[in-house]
């Protein structure tokens, strides 16, 4: 499974957060698309509408397990997808901004 480090991501990179609603509400990367892994297959169309046509999808969760599953599924569909190694835990640890569902400073649940 292809992976990228949090430090390798640029501000304009497309980020898909597959954590559950409570995790998202507590804190997420601003601008990320949220589709919980539990709803992913049913909401797959939302991703294909929002994702860049020929761009890479960076999939993130709390630590990297769930996002690896989704990235692997997307790769099997012929989509350029990579897992963000260490997930939101590393994202927050290296000082990347985390916001809650109201846009205020958040935290990783």
Residues classed as catalytic: 61
Torsion on CA atoms 63, 92, 3, 21, rounded to nearest 10 = 50
Q: What angle do CA 13, 107, 56 make, to 5 degrees?
A: 15
CA–CA dist 100, 106 (Å, integer): 4
* SS3 call for 50: helix
């Amino acid at each position: 499974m292809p992976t990228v480090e949090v430090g390798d991501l640029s501000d304009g990179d497309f980020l898909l957060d597959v954590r559950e609603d409570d995790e998202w509400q507590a804190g997420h990367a601003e601008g990320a698309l949220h589709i919980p892994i539990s709803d992913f297959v049913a909401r797959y169309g939302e991703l294909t509408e929002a994702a860049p046509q020929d761009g890479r999808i960076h999939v993130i969760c709390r630590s990297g397990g769930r996002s690896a599953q989704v990235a692997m599924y997307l790769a099997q569909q012929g989509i350029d997808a990579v897992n963000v190694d260490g997930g939101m835990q590393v994202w927050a640890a290296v000082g990347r901004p985390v916001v809650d569902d109201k846009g205020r400073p958040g935290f990783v649940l």
